[in-house]
């Protein structure tokens, strides 16, 4: 897709189709007024007739509007004159999806920009590209016949942009394109079924990325090398599976960056049956999404490499299946982590923290400026926050706040939960240093408290994306979250340090 911007009036556009906003009560936006004038009052006449009221969610296709070069106009209801980020995003997505069903090749859009503290021309352009690409995403389905007709749309432009801000807006477009590429890579990986997206498949994808980008060094540890690192917790999860585990390391190095990298750790459970503590069958298929943290790390690496950010970033992905079987870990088994701490595994379904704790320990050797892990870690986080916010827990409030604020700017929101010492005390074990579970209460936080035992002395934040990263039901699929948040975070880190 080619993205562009325009500086003049929408009425002058030579695009085949124009998308224009109308507010509640038939209030024309400035761009709509320009079309109305040019067409001799065509828009105000139809609004007077009561054909369109500009309610949030409404759209109306017009063809043959007099005196316009464009053969089609799509009116988009923008609701109240102050447009929220969420509504604006829905409007952009609905409009582009409607256009994508036509034979339109070139499109120009003028919608009232959303509210938001930092909503300047840069962020507006970036958000616009992200929303458009989200709306145009097509799942890499495995249907024998492609159900969706080929996309005809080739070029989109938005505006009008003030001439003085064109450079900023162009930078926003470039960053939006990279963010969208990261999101697409993430969604393509996360949507794959467990029999295709195995740990070996993820390792191959990492090697492929390494070939595409010279600044990226990729190394894969196999089972013997994982054993040599004494990752007893990680190995206890994979031992019931016939699929070999992999530990993926991707190092992006920029000559212009401060040495200490940001380390991103992604949970890569390619399928989570629960192991011997087997899950209920209802919706168990969704546990193919249990490698979404890993997919998000792939996406973030894509963004960083595409933008050539002056920031060092290291990706660590422990990846395996969690299966029952005669060799599987049993409740009560005690294993030793790479850090040397012993863990009593009371529930084999609390496996994410077991693979992550060994990866977090591995992160120490990089002397990182920050460590962020991403994981579909707990159902309890979904109970706490629903699907709207990613959960953040950290041993460093400044880092947590940085992530929350990136989530606000990117409209990919996150919420910090408390991580005080009481939660860690709940993990007591009679036999080992601690247990891997602590009962139902505060489950998202006790999971983080488990990880916190391995991150002392590191600047660390944990992102529980169990609720935000995929949707079930009729729209089942990966949402690509939190790539937009991470993109904002990484760009800002690259600029500030």
275 binds Zn ion (CB under 5 A): no
CB of 97 to ligand BES, least distance (A): 27
| Per-residue x/- track, 329-348, ligand BES (CB under 6 A) | ------------------x-
In whole angstroms, give the CA distance from residue 77 to residue 55.
Answer: 5
Instruction: Give contact residues for Mn ion (rule: CB under 5 A).
Output: 272, 349, 351
Classify residue 29 by its DSSP letter: P
Q: Of 340, 338, 344, give the one whose Cα is nearest residue 234.
A: 338
Residues 83-142 touching Zn ion, rule: CB under 5 A, are none
Cα(414)–Cα(259) distance, rounded to whole angstroms?
28
Total residues at interface with ligand BES (CB under 6 A): 16
- Please report whether residue 324 would count as binding ligand BES according to CB under 6 A: no
Q: Give the one residue of 350, 427, 448, 484 binding ligand BES; rule: CB under 6 A.
A: 350
Please list the residues that pair with 478 across neighbouring strands: 470
* CA 428/CA 449 separation, integer angstroms: 12
Is 272 one of the binding residues for Zn ion (CB under 5 A)? yes
| Residue 443 lies near ligand BES (rule: CB under 6 A) | yes
174 binds, among ligand BES, Zn ion, Mn ion, none (CB under 5 to 8 A by kind): none
Cβ atoms of 360 and 455 within 8 Å: the answer is: yes
| Binding residue for ligand BES, selected from 78, 183, 376, 478, defined by CB under 6 A | 376
Q: Counting contacts by CB under 6 A, is residue 429 touching ligand BES?
A: no
Write out the catalytic residue numbers: 279, 353
Please name the residues in contact with 14: beta carbons below 8 A apart, sequence gap of 6 or more. Answer: 69, 106
Q: Which stretch binds ligand BES (CB under 6 A): 2-10, 53-61, 83-91, 378-386?
A: 378-386
Tokens for 366, please give them.
Answer: 């990089």
By the rule CB under 5 A, 318 interacts with Zn ion: no
Nearer to ligand BES (CB atom), residue 273 or residue 487: 273
Centroid of chain to Cα 18: 30
Question: Per the structure block, which two tokens stand in for 444?
Answer: 């998202």
3-state secondary structure 135-164: HHCCCCCCCCCCCCCCCCCCEEEECCCCHH
Task: Give the bridge partners for 27, in sequence order.
Answer: 23
**Nearer CB in complex with Mn ion: 384/466:** 466
Q: Is 290 in the site for ligand BES (CB under 6 A)?
A: yes
Q: How far is the CB of 76 from ligand BES (least distance, A)?
A: 34
Q: What residues from 250 to 269 belong to the interface with Zn ion (CB under 5 A)?
A: 269
Q: Which is nearer to Mn ion, 116 or 379 (CB)?
A: 379
Q: How far is the CB of 267 from Zn ion (least distance, A)?
A: 7
SS3 277: coil
The pair phi, psi for residue 284, each rounded to 5°, is: -65, -25
Nearest to 81 by CA among 27, 30, 31, 131: 27
232 binds Zn ion (CB under 5 A): no
If the CB atoms of residues 95 and 291 are measured against ligand BES, the closer one turns out to be 291
Which residues, in sequence order, are bridge partners of residue 321?
A: 271
Which residue intervals of 26-120 are DSSP H helices? 30-38, 42-48, 85-100
Where along the sequence are the contacts to ligand BES (CB under 6 A)?
A: 272, 290, 347, 349-352, 376-380, 382, 437, 443, 466
Where along the sequence are the contacts to Zn ion (CB under 5 A)?
A: 269, 272, 290, 352
């Amino acid at each position: 897709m080619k993205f562009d911007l325009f500086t003049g009036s929408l009425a002058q556009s030579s695009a085949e189709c124009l998308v224009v906003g109308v507010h509640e009560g038939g209030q024309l936006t400035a761009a709509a007024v320009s079309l109305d004038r040019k067409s001799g009052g065509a828009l105000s006449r139809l609004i007077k007739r009561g054909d369109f009221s500009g309610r949030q969610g409404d759209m109306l296709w017009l063809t043959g509007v007099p005196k316009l070069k464009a053969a089609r106009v799509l009116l988009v209801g923008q609701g109240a004159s102050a447009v929220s980020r969420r509504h604006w995003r829905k409007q952009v997505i609905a409009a582009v999806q409607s256009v994508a069903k036509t034979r339109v090749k070139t499109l120009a859009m003028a919608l009232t920009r959303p509210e938001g503290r930092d909503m300047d021309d840069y962020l507006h352009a970036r958000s616009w590209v992200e929303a458009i690409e989200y709306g145009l995403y097509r799942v890499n389905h495995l249907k024998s016949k492609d159900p969706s007709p080929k996309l005809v749309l080739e070029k989109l432009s938005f505006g009008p942009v003030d001439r003085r801000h064109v450079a900023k807006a162009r930078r926003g477009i470039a960053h939006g394109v990279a963010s969208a590429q990261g999101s697409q890579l993430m969604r393509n990986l996360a949507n794959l079924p467990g029999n295709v997206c195995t740990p070996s498949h993820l390792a191959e994808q990492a090697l492929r990325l390494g070939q595409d980008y010279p600044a990226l060094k990729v190394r894969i540890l196999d089972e013997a090398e994982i054993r040599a690192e004494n990752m007893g917790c990680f190995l206890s999860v994979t031992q019931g599976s016939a699929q070999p585990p992999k530990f993926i390391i991707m190092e992006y190095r920029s000559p212009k960056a401060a040495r200490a990298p940001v380390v991103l750790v992604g949970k890569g459970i390619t399928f989570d049956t629960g192991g011997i503590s087997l899950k209920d069958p209802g919706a168990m298929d969704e546990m193919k999404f249990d490698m979404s943290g890993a997919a998000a790390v792939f996406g973030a690496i894509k963004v960083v490499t595409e933008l050539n950010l002056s920031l060092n970033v290291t990706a660590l992905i422990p990846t395996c299946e969690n299966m029952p079987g005669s060799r599987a870990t049993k409740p009560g088994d005690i294993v030793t982590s790479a850090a040397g701490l012993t863990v009593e595994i009371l529930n084999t379904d609390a496996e994410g923290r077991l693979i992550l704790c060994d990866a977090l320990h591995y992160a120490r050797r990089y002397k990182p400026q920050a460590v962020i892990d991403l994981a579909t870690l707990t159902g309890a986080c979904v109970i706490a926050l629903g699907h709207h916010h990613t959960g953040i827990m950290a041993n460093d409030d400044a880092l947590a706040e940085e992530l929350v604020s990136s989530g606000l700017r990117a409209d990919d929101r996150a919420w910090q939960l408390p991580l005080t010492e009481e939660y860690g005390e709940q993990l007591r074990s009679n036999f080992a240093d601690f247990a891997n579970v602590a009962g139902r209460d505060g489950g998202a936080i006790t999971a983080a408290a488990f990880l916190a035992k391995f991150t002392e002395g590191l600047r660390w934040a944990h992102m529980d994306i169990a609720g935000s990263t995929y949707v079930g039901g009729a729209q089942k699929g990966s949402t690509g979250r939190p790539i937009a948040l991470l993109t904002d975070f990484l760009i800002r880190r690259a600029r500030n340090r």
